[in-house]
Structure 1
Amino acid sequence: MRGVEELRAGIEDIALVDHHVHGVVPGKLDRAGFESLLTESDRPIPGWMTQFDSPLGFALRRWCAPVLGLRPHATPEEYLAARVSLGAEEVTWRLLAASGAGRFLVDTGLGGGLAELAEASGKPVHEVVRLESVLEDVGRSGVSAADLPARFQEELARRTASAVGLKSIVAYRFGFDFDPRPPERAEVVEAAGTWLGEGAPRVSDPVLLRFALWAGVERGLPLQLHAGFGDPDLDLHRCDPLLLTGFLREVEPRGVDVLLLHCYPFHRHAAYLAQVLPHVHFDVGLALTHTGARSTAVLAESLELAPFAKTLYSSDAWGLPELHHLGARLWRRGMAEVLSGHVESGDWALDDALRVARMIGRDNAERVYGLESP
């Protein structure tokens, strides 16, 4: 009888589309530098603790150590020594290959990463352009306030000529409790005048952020929005995707897909929005690596309500190739455990479980972003 082992093998065989990811930090890292990339905090790690003693740190020692030729649960010292011995290039190649990802959609807002990730992985990569980065570049170009709206739209069109999507970090810069309507041009020019007069620092004015968002909607590409937890720049209570309901309703008639990223601890809220609004999709990407051994529970919760055609896979990995591998490994393990339970209980047929796993891991992203199968 066909069963759970066939399901697990089928999930392992999926060439994942990592629909939201970043590049890898090149070169050697000392222990402090390595551990700083195991947390969303931007504060120095206290001397009395280590980030290896975290859900992510334990998951790394369990799942990444064997890829580097170590026993599972190798000590941090053994793991870091193996990294040095193998060299950064070999470590990156091994971990990216172990992820089984078939292609990467790279948010270049943290700086580059496209060519490097393509070379290191040998897989297709596609660019996702960050709206706020484009606006800040235009603001620092010497543009006048009156010319900024048109110049931004021109530059956005140029930067996205070959991109597959857009990304906004309005969650970090202001929060989701903004006026959902497009701002008037006079509002934008006035806000731009103030901002440019300050030297065009990091953009946080809600009028300018709304302007960038709506310019992105008008561009017509799928729009990614960070939601839920992240580094201390954000106020988590203002990053609940339910606060976006008004904006999402305004966007719906435009026919633009919106993708809510990560969403933890609001992933059930995101699933609700994905159920009731046809253009809304979501993932739990970053949450899986950071919850480690409990990631299966988070993944199971994300599958409670939303249609399976509205859920995608991402790792949101940045800096360490370990995070690319862990995102994929924990997703595959979680999907296998959740769906095998459904099959064994008789609630689901095996073929349906395999089909849903492929939808979430690959097919949905190919449809939303207009990608051809690799």
Structure 2
Amino acid sequence: MAPGTGPVHEALAALPLVDHHCHGAVTADLSPEAFASLLTEGAAWPGVSPWDTPAGLAVRRHCAPLLDLPRHAPPEAYLDRRTALGHAEAGRRFLTAAGAEVFCVDTGYAPHPLTSPAELARAAGAAAFEVVRLEQLAEAVAARGVEPGEYAAVFRSAAEDAVRRPDVVAVKSVAAYRTGFALDPRRPADAEVTEAAARWLTAGGRLTDPVLVRHLLWTAVELGLPLQLHTGFGDADLRLHHADPALLTDWLRLTSGTVPVLLLHCWPYHRQAAYLSAVFEQVYLDVGLALHHTGPARCRAVLEEALEITPFRKLLYSSDAYGLAEFHHLGALCFRGALAGLLQDRVDADELTLSDALRIAAWTGRDNARRLYGPPVSEPASDPSGRPTRKV
């Protein structure tokens, strides 16, 4: 059988995906410098172009043909063609090529103007739902003004209001960025929260107080929706060794039997995340972000390591695409090819039946997310206002 062919490849190529964690796409044409900056989680340094990375090479190889360019088109030709088409048309091509039927969109990080979930859905011909970032909500509460003794109740009320919206399917925390996960796992006492709120409200700035981050995580559990947690790989604002999900072990013991906890991205701690998913009922994971940053040449290795011990009902697909619609497409392309390749090889080696492989492919690409976030639908659903209903 030729590489990249077989019934598992065919099934995954045709499977409508649920991208359970991503961001919007840019809503303006980009300068060469701005485009290059979005190719990387780092920065463009003198003499080091973000195009000369696995992600940059993957864009030239796998995205250029969608802009009617030859494979491996040089960056200058790529950007000229993208600008000639315009950001809206280029975005539409990449988003539809991703083949996702649902996008779950984190709206809490937007240093660039981005599509809303509804705009992303229209461009993709799909449905989209919102993931509420809780740190942003807490900071909005502080910015409006609140007494330290009232902070906990006001934040809880704001969070409850946010998750009541019919298009919201999950909440997210970036505690990995703000404090790391080496936190006291216990729910903080009311007096601790008031004292910490007084310090923060006086000092201002981002939410980085460990007590208030603990309070935020416990509030998330009480909201009852799936909780997404950034872990592992991220930008330079992160201390990577503090983002190891294994540091959450004691907190996961205390929150057992509550809400699903979805460990996002995970690399290079995807094996630790896999362990947690194997021993805690509520833990799930993905390897989004690592997929397009390792590119088709190496994403299979990451996915295969994540699947060494992960129960097959515990792995989900995400792209974590931000800004460049190319990454919505590349995330899906890398995921389909990597998962199909490793499953087809196991079928060929008689380690899996074909029916087992097809079931695992559907679970991972779509059905695990549907089970966690809401009942399945075959068509994008909207209420009379045009917003999607709360079904994934």
Please give the range of the TM-score, normalised by the shorter of the 2 chains. Answer: over 0.9
Gaps of 5+ in 2: 379-392
Equivalents in 2 of 1:4, 1:40: separation in Å?
33
Aligned position for 1:205: 209
Give the structure-2-normalised TM-score.
0.92
Alignment of 1:70-219 (within 5 A): 70-111=69-110, 113-162=116-165, 163-199=168-204, 201-219=205-223
**RMSD across aligned positions (CA):** 1.3
Aligned position for 2:309: 305
Equivalents in 2 of 1:55, 1:78: separation in Å?
19
Shift of 1:7: 1.5
Aligned position for 2:265: 262
Aligned position for 1:323: 327
SS at match of 2:259: coil
1:236 aligns with 2:252: no
Corresponding letter in the other structure for 1:59: A
Aligned position for 2:55: 56
Q: Answer yes or no: is the 8 Å Cα contact 1:272–1:305 preserved in 2.
A: yes
Q: Which has the higher helix share?
A: 1
Shift of 1:62: 1.1
Shift of 1:115: 2.5
Q: Deviation digits for residues 107-141 of structure 1, max 9, x if unmatched?
A: 11114722221222221111111110110000111
Q: Answer yes or no: is the 8 Å Cα contact 1:22–1:319 preserved in 2.
A: yes
Q: Answer yes or no: is the 8 Å Cα contact 2:299–2:338 preserved in 1.
A: yes
Corresponding letter in the other structure for 2:54: P
Give the structure-1-normalised TM-score.
0.96
Aligned position for 1:348: 352
Equivalents in 2 of 1:46, 1:261: separation in Å?
28
Equivalents in 1 of 2:360, 2:299: separation in Å?
19
SS at match of 1:309: coil
Equivalents in 1 of 2:277, 2:60: separation in Å?
34
Q: Deviation digits for residues 65-105 of structure 1, max 9, x if unmatched?
A: 11111111111112111101211111000000000011100
Corresponding letter in the other structure for 1:260: L
Aligned position for 1:16: 17
Q: Answer yes or no: is the 8 Å Cα contact 2:26–2:87 preserved in 1.
A: no
Q: Answer yes or no: is the 8 Å Cα contact 2:8–2:340 preserved in 1.
A: yes
Alignment of 1:15-54 (within 5 A): 15-41=16-42, 43=43, 45-54=44-53
Q: Answer yes or no: is the 8 Å Cα contact 1:4–1:344 preserved in 2.
A: no
Identical-residue share of aligned pairs (%): 51
Gaps of 5+ in 1: none
Equivalents in 2 of 1:117, 1:128: separation in Å?
14
Corresponding letter in the other structure for 2:95: L
